Structures are given as structure tokens and as C-alpha cells.
Amino acid sequence: MSNSTLSFWEETGNGRTGIMGWLTSTDHKRIGLMYLYILLAMFIVGVFLGLAIRLELIAPGRTIMDAQTYNTVFTLHGVIMIFIVVIPSIPAAIGNLVLPIQLGAEDVAFPRLNLFSWYLYVGGTLLALVSLFTGGGTPDTGWTFYVPFSEFTTTNVSVAVIAVFILGFSSILTGLNFITTIHRLRAPDMTWTKIPLFTWSLYATGWIQVLATPVLGITVLLIFAERVLGVGLFDPNKGGDPILYQHLFWIYSHPAVYIMILPAMGVVSDIIPVFARKPIFGYKTIAFSSLMIAFAGSLVWAHHMFTSGMSDTAVLIFSLLTFIVAIPSAIKVFNWTATLYKGSISVEPPLLYALGFIFLFSVGGLTGLILGSAGTDIHVHDTYFVVSHFHYVIFGGTGFGLFAAMHFWLPKYYGRMYDKTLSKVAFYILFVGFNLLYFPLFIIGLQGMPRRYYDYLPQYQDGHIISTVGSWVLALGLAIMFYNLIKGCLKGEKVNGRNPWGAATLEWTTPTPPPLLNFDREPDTSRKPYDFKGVTPDE
């Protein structure tokens, strides 16, 4: 290993050291880590709120909080998890760490814009926190800010929606930066069919970020305007139409689901072949299906509104389109399975989390079909079936994808390895806890337990008890996982060599940890990203 280059930990490139070296750094690796730290901290806050929700629901009637507090807690839980944690999670944090190196570039196309996006993200997050403690109290509308309630509630919705606007802006700029980077900064010879699938997935994601997020921006601005000016665009008393709000909201928020899930799929596509030691099955199909998901996923928003009043034709069309989006996702699952088939599999922690992703995402995806067909949706709409479905997709999908990514890539950036046995233990606890927590919700949802209700009939209690117990098991798993990762990054055994997993993408050809400008020699782009011939893990 050449020691002529310092790692990005030691070399800031802007002449500053210490905390200022970080806060003014335009190095994509530092920015990625700064995203990661904040969003993980916010994730933990969100988990505590989730645990509080579960505790409240362990028994009918009041348990630990009153009804209004409950409303604010689930709103906060949703806003934090969706806008602050999950949307930036893999793209902004892991994407920043990995994408330029996978392309053989020294940084992203607009490094200063990248830092600016991070500041917007921090600003949006702080403002969201401000909305808790100021004005008329914590927002209680749910993360969807549905009108007319969000126009008239006395809680601090105005500040919260501005926070969401700023977070959205940050997301747009990250997407824009990544798209430009992928177009302009690929190493010579890094053709489109040599781009690793994780970066491909970020490319598709980038387009959704750029094309869908502005619609969210205008939607939340309109809520703000409505609250301040009382125009009445969504208020039936003044000629407005609340359904139009729902359309605008979901035109963003459905595609946003793919901002959350596509990058996780990319992570899994990069991890599976490494631990099966086989080229990925159907590289082009996987890359192309990401674009298909991005495209088709933008056309299905109204499946959230089957019960809001739409023409039968519209319902039919949106139902059909929704089914069509399932196809590219299913293609990916088949490709991953085919890659694993007859591979020489080594069950390392990143693979375990990736497998967890495939299982949980499949459960979430299949139950999505039940929601996508109008007939069955009308039965389960706004019940716990939906809550369970989206936790399987978003937490089981994006969450586990993020965990997989952290286990896979962090050793590269910290130069240290966590305790592999402990991380497997954490995984199994997490996995069991997850299913205990969310599976019963499918059942009580089918039985008719509505979501966002503080109280319920005694017949649903068994399901809620199992679920609450599951939430503690899950939290235990998370605690062990984080403990292990943090300890590993700080004090773990040093990683020997550049390529601990024996992967073939470019980030594994750089020193561990990488130097400021990523490479200490010309990146070798002759090799395909999943061609493992002659690549062995450095012991």
C-alpha cells in the first residue's frame, strides 16, 4: 500500500483542520459522512417516537399519552422518518461516499453545491425541530399535511412545511449534482454498461428527485400561502377543492417512494454478486428496470386516492398502471435470486442484510398489489394493513438497504472492521423483531383496525400486544447493530489491504481509507464491475 497519499481523514484540501475542516469541506466523502451522522441521529429520534406510538397502542384507551399528543407524535414520526431520514439516507449519505469513486472521478461535478445541499439539509432539519417548540404547538396533521385540516389547525404547520420545502430543495440539488457527475465525470473507458448498478440506481433516482420534488415544493408552499393568506384554493367554502391537493401531494410522494427504494435496490445489486462470487445475472435488465421504475412510478400517484372520489375509468387506469410498476421490481428480485443460484456464497454481514432486504421488500411489494387493485384497496384503505405495507417496503427495504450498505462500505472509509459475529446476531434479532412488529398489523388491518387512531376496540388488542413486544425486540437489534458498527469504526481491527470483500468495482481499488482525490493511480476501467476473475479478498 502506498503511503505517499494521506487519507481523506487527514487531508482536508481546504487548509483547515478540525471541525472547520469538516464544515467547509467540499470533499464528497466528508459530506457523505456528515449526512450519515445527522440522519442516523434523527433515525434514533424517530425510532423513539415509533416506540412511543407502539407503547400507547399496547392497550385500548389512554396508556402513556393523551390523544392530541398521540397525533403530534405520529406526525413527527412520519415527518422525521420520511423527509429527514429515508429520502436522503442512501442517496445523499452513501451515494456521496461511493458514487464518484465508482465512476473513477475525483469528486462530484459541483462540489460546492454539494456542500450547500448539506447545509440546506441541516437547515431544514433544524427548522423542523423548531416547529416542535414554537408557535401553536407541534404539528398534528400527519406527514401528508392533508387539507383542509392542515389549513386550519392551530399547530405549527407553517414552519413545518417550510422545513419540508428546504429539505426538498436539498434533495433536488443532490439529484442534479449526481446526474451531472454521471454524465460528465466518468473515467475514460467507463462506458454506460460498465457503471456499477448502485450508481445506475442513483442515476434513475436523480431524475425522480429533479422531476418530482418541485411539485412537492409548490404543494407545501401552497399550504403555507393558504394558511397565511387564506386564498381558499383547497377550501370548499371558498370554491377550492381538497382533492386537487391530494393529487399534487401524491404526484410527488408516490415517486418519492422510489427515491427511497431504488438506491436500496442498487446497494443490493452491488452486494449480491460479491458474496455469491458470480457476475450479476442480467446487468442490463437491472439497470434498465431502474429507469422503468422511475418512469412508470411517476404515473401511478392516484392509487392513493381510490377512495377519495375519482371516475371509474381513472380508478381502472391507475390500478392497471400500478400493477405495471410491479414488473420491473419483480425482474430485479428474479435477477438477484438467479445470481445467488449456484453461487459460492459466503454469508458475510452485508449479504445477510441484503437478503433481509429481498425478503422484506418482497412482502411489502406483494401486499402493495393488494393496495393497488381498487377492489381490495377500498377494504383496507387507511387501515393498519397500509401501515404494515409501507413499513415492509420502506423500513424493510430502504432501512435494511442502508444497513447493508453501511456494513459493506464503512470498513472502506474507516479502515476498520466491526465484529462480524455480533453483527449477525444483531441481524437476526432485528429480523425477528421486525416481523413481530409489523406482521400482526397486516392481520388487524384486514380486520378493520384504522390507522392514526389513538384508541381501538378490545378485539384488536392481541395484535397490538405482539406488535409492541416486537418493537422492543427490534429496538434491541438496532441497539446492538449500532453499538457494533460504531465500535467497529472507532476501535475495530484494521482492514488489511484495499479490498476486504473481494469486490470488483473501482472503490475497492483505492487505498483504505481513500485519499482526498480518491485515487493514487489511474483507475483501471478495463474490468467490468462484476467480473471477479482474479479478484480475491485481501486477508
Residues 508-537 interacting with ligand HEM (rule: CB under 6 A):
none
CB of 46 to other proteins, least distance (A): 28
- The mark string for 112-151 relative to other proteins (x by CB under 8 A, - otherwise) is -x--------------------------------------
Nearer to ligand HEM, 92 or 437 (CB): 437
Q: What residue number has its CB nearest to Cu ion?
A: 254
Convert 238-258 to b/e letters by CB count within 10 Å (16 or more is b).
Answer: eebebeebbbbbbbbbbbbbb
Q: How far is the CB of 245 from other proteins (least distance, A)?
A: 9
Residue from 229, 312, 313, 491 touching other proteins (CB under 8 A): that is: 229
28, 54, 304, 332: which one contacts ligand HEM (CB under 6 A)?
54
Q: Which residue has the cell 454469508?
A: 347
Burial tier of 422 (Cβ tally within 10 Å: 0-12, 13-18, 19+): middle
The entry of other proteins, Cu ion, ligand HEM, none that residue 393 binds, CB within 5 to 8 Å by partner kind: none
The dihedral sign for the CA sequence 111, 113, 116, 118: negative
The piece of 43-51, 127-135, 482-490, 517-525 that touches ligand HEM (CB under 6 A) is: 43-51
Would you state the cell numbers that stand for residue 153, as one nine-digit string? 389547525
Report d(CA 400, CA 192) in Å as an integer.
28
**Is residue 47 part of the contact set for ligand HEM (CB under 6 A)?**
yes
Q: With binding defined as CB under 6 A, does residue 86 bind ligand HEM? A: yes
Site for other proteins in 178-217 (CB under 8 A): 179-180, 183-185, 210-211, 213-215, 217
Nearer to ligand HEM, 400 or 414 (CB): 400
Interface with other proteins (CB under 8 A), residue from 65, 244, 291, 370: 244
HEC string for 235-294:
CHHHCCCHHHHHHHHHHHHHHHHHHHHHHHHHHHHHHHHHHHCCCCCCHHHHHHHHHHHH
Q: Is 62 in the site for other proteins (CB under 8 A)?
A: no
Stretch in the footprint of ligand HEM (CB under 6 A) among 70-78, 130-138, 178-186, 517-525: 70-78
381 binds Cu ion (CB under 5 A): no
In 3D space, the residue among 44, 214, 102 whose CA is nearest the CA of residue 527 turns out to be 102
Q: Nearer Cβ to other proteins, position 214 or 502?
A: 214
Q: Is 505 among the residues that bind other proteins (CB under 8 A)?
A: no
Which of Cu ion, ligand HEM, other proteins, none is residue 13 near (CB under 5 to 8 Å by kind)? other proteins
Please identify, using beta-carbon distances, which residue of 46 and 240 lies nearer to other proteins.
Answer: 240
Q: In the set 34, 53, 115, 167, which binds ligand HEM (CB under 6 A)? A: 53
Among 220, 475, 481, 485, binds ligand HEM (CB under 6 A): 475
Using alpha carbons, list the distances in angstroms from residue 211 to 96, 171, 218, 432, 534: 20, 11, 13, 38, 42
Taking the C-alpha atoms of residue 318 and residue 537, their distance in angstroms, rounded to an integer, is 48
Instruction: Provide the 3-class DSSP secondary structure of residue 317.
Output: helix
Site string for other proteins, 71-110 (x = CB under 8 A): -----------------------------------x--xx
Q: What is the DSSP string of 452-495?
A: T-S---GGGHHHHHHHHHHHHHHHHHHHHHHHHHHHHHHHSEEP
Count of beta carbons in the 10 Å neighbourhood of residue 428: 12
Identified binder of other proteins from the candidate list 71, 155, 201, 219, rule CB under 8 A? 219
Which of 276, 387, 405, 506 lies at the binding interface for ligand HEM (CB under 6 A)?
387
Closer by beta carbon to Cu ion, 224 or else 318 = 318
DSSP at 507: G
Q: Identify any residues that bridge with 248 across adjacent strands, giving them in sequence order.
A: none
Indicate the residue among 13 and 137 with the shorter CB distance to other proteins.
13
Q: How far is CA 97 from CA 29, 32, 89, 218, 221, in A?
A: 5, 5, 12, 30, 32
Q: Report d(CA 236, CA 250) in Å as an integer.
A: 20
Q: Which is nearer to other proteins, 173 or 417 (CB)?
A: 173
Q: Which does 254 bind (CB under 5 to 8 A by kind): Cu ion, ligand HEM, other proteins, none?
A: Cu ion
Strands 416-417, 493-494: parallel, antiparallel or unpaired by DSSP? antiparallel
Provide long-range contacts, Cβ within 8 A and 24+ apart, for 17-25: 24/115, 25/115
Q: How far apart are CA 135 and CA 443, in angstroms?
A: 39
C-alpha–C-alpha distance, residues 131 and 161, integer Å: 9
Name the site residues for ligand HEM (rule: CB under 6 A): 47, 50-51, 53-54, 74-75, 77-78, 81-82, 86, 142-143, 387, 391, 394-395, 399, 437, 451-452, 471, 474-475
Task: Report the interface residues with other proteins, using CB under 8 A.
Answer: 11, 13, 106, 109-110, 113, 172, 176-177, 179-180, 183-185, 210-211, 213-215, 217-219, 221-222, 225, 229-233, 238-241, 244, 247-248, 251, 516-517
